[in-house]
Amino acid sequence: MNTENFYVTTPIYYVNDKPHIGHAYTTILADVLARYHRSLGEDTFFLTGTDEHGQKVQKAAEKRQMDPKQHCDETVVRFQELWRKLGITNDRFIRTTEEYHKKVVREILQELYDRGEIYKAEYTGWYCVGDERFFTEKDLVDGKCPECGREVSAIKESNYFFRMSKYQDWLIDYIQTHPDFIQPSFRANETLGFLRKKLSDLCISRPKSRLSWGIELPFDPDYVCYVWFDALINYISGVGFHRNQEEFEHWWPASYHLIGKDILTTHSVYWPTMLKAIGLPMPRTIFAHGWWLTGNTKMSKSLGNVVNPMDMVERYGVDAFRYFLLSEMSPGNDANFTEEAFVARYNSDLANDLGNLLSRVLKMTLRSGGVIQPPAELTADEAELNAEVDKAVAAMESCLLAMKFDQGLAAVMNAVRAGNRYMEKTAPWSLAKKGELARLNTVLYTAADALRRVAVLLAPVMPSKMADLGAALGYNRNDFAALKISDLKTKKSDLAGRTVQDCDALFPRIQFEAAKEAEAKPAKQEKAAKAAKPAKAAAPAGVVELIDIADFAKVQLRTAKVIEASRVEGADRLLRLRIESGGEERQIVSGIARWYTPESLAGKSIVIVANLRPAKIRGIESAGMLLAAKEGDTLRLVTTDGEIASGAEVG
């Protein structure tokens, strides 16, 4: 039995859905987990795949007048392609239409049938097509599906049932005595709550007259297997069950089944009872993460607010996308995805903190001959920075075991900020000027070594960018990528003597007008601002998106006069402007304090977006936006060429 190896799974995705951020998140989470465990030196297996049977797929194929298998073959590529783009390192991609998987499902069905664990009975109940699940009268909420709230249809038919109810007491006891089994613990409580009601047996068949796209029951050719009973078995068929006992025992039981909170019951009730009936040990942890929302609203096709991971990767790069997802969501809770929040986090953590530290170390080392010299005498400043990085190594490891990546990444970013503080305090540029070479070498070595260790810690999340960072410090990309977290604790640094390589900014700053405001905006107020904004985020500057004249006509640009301006307490980037446009006064909050003093603005003729929905920035109402041109570190307000009345249309 597997006690030391690490085996992680994602749900297998319905093949006809277009992959969205929810699918991308679970798969990236599993990938990061797998990479970290490999990095800790553990034997690791990562399984993902697609769920290809059932009514939804049959319907989608019928709509396209296509054979369902051919439909699956065409649509599965979307997932495989996306995983390739996202740098996913799964060891196996399972499809439930594979012959071997189907064989295992049939064998399990036959065995359970032979043992009397599956029986035939007449069934009357309610069926939800969307969820492909049966419910009893008492399960319904206001006569509708208790899971999704959609209409259900009355059904009376003969079917096969798995004796799930007989395992109810065992399951309650198992959950209560294994606190790691369902995580976070409030999800275990949710399952126990569900188990307070008497558990019914599970209907595991569908008559072919109603649904033909599924695995035929080995003991009754008039029926196919219920899609969830088929799908859950992927977790064992994917690692050699009934094919290669040695392989199977190497990996099973799984260390983690990662799932979204909406599929908790199928994983925490159906699956354990199935395993118990088959006679297999339980997975160590079923971990249910929360949902990604947009602007704090549920993502849905009808609202048009579903985030497409492919778009994000194309705009900002795969590593930044992975970093955002992992640092923004505390697994277990819901998180909010907005492009503004994405850009704000990218600019502050990656472009500013990490990017700056690397560029300072590179510049100074290149100026001093390009080779990282061994350190001379160490002072309290070096000890302080080294201790911060040690803390990050320990935090990353414990957060990883507790599935708290957001906190692990925050600890690593603290170490990066400590690196920047160290550079400012030790000021290698003045050491160079003063010719204090021994001290200069020590400082540059210490900062570079902090970067090296930070990069190893971040590599599972940002594998490609961290290999670039390693290359800049003079490593071969592949050698650096092979460095493990376990090496950080056991091996001495091999940095001294390496020749650094100049490189382009690792994370070039993203200029995104809306993001500037989000950056200055604390999370709480962002929520309110988002509610007032259209769901779809604008394309960032730099991405040329052609629009029609009608699109442009939607934006009302007008001249305005600044009456007065003042600073915003506690927000050193912001100014509050009182302006007048066409006889109407309004207030605009803008992130221009770095470039303009309040006094210099009074009386200026500026251009504003007059019909922007008001938003709250730092709790202050901002009605509109002023226009400014920005290049690099320079920002200039857009003004009119000579006198013109305020309120005049610009276009």
Kindly list the residues in this chain that would bind ligand MSP in the complex (CB under 6 A): 11-14, 17, 22-23, 25-26, 51, 231-232, 259-260, 262-263, 291-292, 299
Q: Three-state SS string across 289-350, please? A: ECCEEECCEECCCCCCCCCCHHHHHHHHCHHHHHHHHHHHCCCCCCEEECHHHHHHHHHHHH
List, in sequence order, every beta strand (DSSP E) within 129-196. 133-135, 153-162, 182-183
Distance in Å, CB of 51 to ligand MSP, minimum: 3
Do residues 235 and 105 lie in contact, with contact meaning Cβ atoms separated by under 8 Å?
Answer: no
Could you tell me if 225 and 215 are in contact, meaning their C-beta atoms sit under 8 angstroms apart? yes
Q: C-beta of 292: minimal distance to ligand MSP in Å?
A: 4
Strand 649-650 to 557-568 pairing: antiparallel
Which CB atom, from 311 or from 513, has the smaller least distance to ligand MSP? 311
In angstroms, give the least distance from the CB of 102 to ligand MSP: 15
Minimum separation from the CB atom of position 22 to ligand MSP (A): 2
For residues 125 and 238, which CB has a smaller minimum distance to ligand MSP in the complex? Answer: 238
| CA-to-CA separations, 208 to 205, 211, 222, in angstroms, rounded | 9, 5, 6
CB nearer ligand MSP, residue 21 or residue 364:
21
Is residue 458 exposed (0-12), middle (13-18) or buried (19+ Cβ within 10 Å)? Answer: buried
Rounded to whole angstroms, the Cα distance separating 69 from 97 reads 8
Q: What is the nearest approach in angstroms of ligand MSP to the Cβ of residue 225? A: 13
Nearer to ligand MSP among residue 325 and residue 601 (C-beta): 325
- Identify which of residues 231 and 275 has a Cβ nearer to ligand MSP in the complex: 231
- Quickly count: other Cβ atoms within 10 Å of residue 121's Cβ: 10
Return the closest-CA partner of residue 340 out of 462, 544, 465, 523.
523
Cα separation, 120 vs 205, whole angstroms: 9
Identify the bridge partners of residue 495 per DSSP, sorted by sequence position. none
Q: How far is the CB of 5 from ligand MSP (least distance, A)?
A: 21
If DSSP codes are grouped into helix, strand and coil, which group holds residue 531? Answer: helix
Nearer to ligand MSP, 132 or 381 (CB): 132
Place of tokens 């990656």: 350
- CB nearer to ligand MSP: give 403 or 615: 403
Rounded least distance, CB 274 to ligand MSP, Å: 11
Q: How far is the CB of 260 from ligand MSP (least distance, A)?
A: 2
Question: Which residues have C-beta within 8 Å of that of residue 70, sequence separation ≥ 6?
Answer: 61
The residue at minimum Cβ distance from ligand MSP is 260
Spatial separation of the C-alpha atoms in residues 586 and 566, rounded to whole Å? 14
CB closer to ligand MSP, 71 vs 618? 71
To the nearest whole angstrom, how small is the minimum distance from the Cβ of residue 359 to ligand MSP?
Answer: 35
620: left (phi over 0), alpha (psi -120 to 50) or beta: beta
| Closer to ligand MSP by Cβ: residue 219 or 291 | 291
Least separation in angstroms between CB 285 and ligand MSP: 15
- For 156-307, where are the alpha helices, taking DSSP H only? 168-177, 185-194, 227-232, 234-237, 245-251, 264-265, 271-278
Taking the least distance from each CB to ligand MSP, the nearer of 230 and 353 is 230
Nearer to ligand MSP, 256 or 507 (CB): 256
Min dist. Cβ of residue 334 to ligand MSP (A):
8
Of 23 and 37, the one with the shorter C-beta distance to ligand MSP is 23
Local structure of residue 353 (DSSP, 8 states): I
Contact 571, 606 (CB under 8 A): no
Residues 6+ apart with CB under 8 A from 54: 14, 132, 211, 213, 214, 227
Q: How many CA atoms lie within 13 A of 606 on its CB side?
A: 26
Task: Give the residue among 211, 278, 215 at the shortest CA–CA distance from 241.
Answer: 278
The Cα–Cα gap between 603 and 402 comes to: 57
In order of 359, 467, 557, 625, the CA distances from 581 in angstroms are 44, 52, 11, 12
Shortest Cβ 270–ligand MSP spacing (Å): 9
Q: How many CB atoms lie within 10 A of CB 447?
A: 25
Q: Give the residue with the Cβ less far from ligand MSP, 37 or 78.
A: 78
- Measured from the CB of residue 505, what is the shortest distance to ligand MSP in angstroms? 32
Three-state SS sequence of 581-612: ECCEEEEEEECCCCCCCHHHHCCCEEEEECCC
Question: Are 340 and 327 in contact, with CB atoms under 8 Å apart?
Answer: no
Q: Cβ 12 to ligand MSP, closest distance in Å?
A: 5
Closest to ligand MSP by CB, 27 or 44? 27
User: What DSSP letter does each residue of 625-642 carry, written as one string?
Assistant: EE-EEEETTEEEE---SS
Smallest gap, in angstroms, from Cβ of residue 194 to ligand MSP? 17
In the bound state with ligand MSP, the residue whose beta carbon lies nearer, of 11 and 253, is: 11
Q: Is 395 helix (H, G, I), strand (E, B) or coil?
A: helix
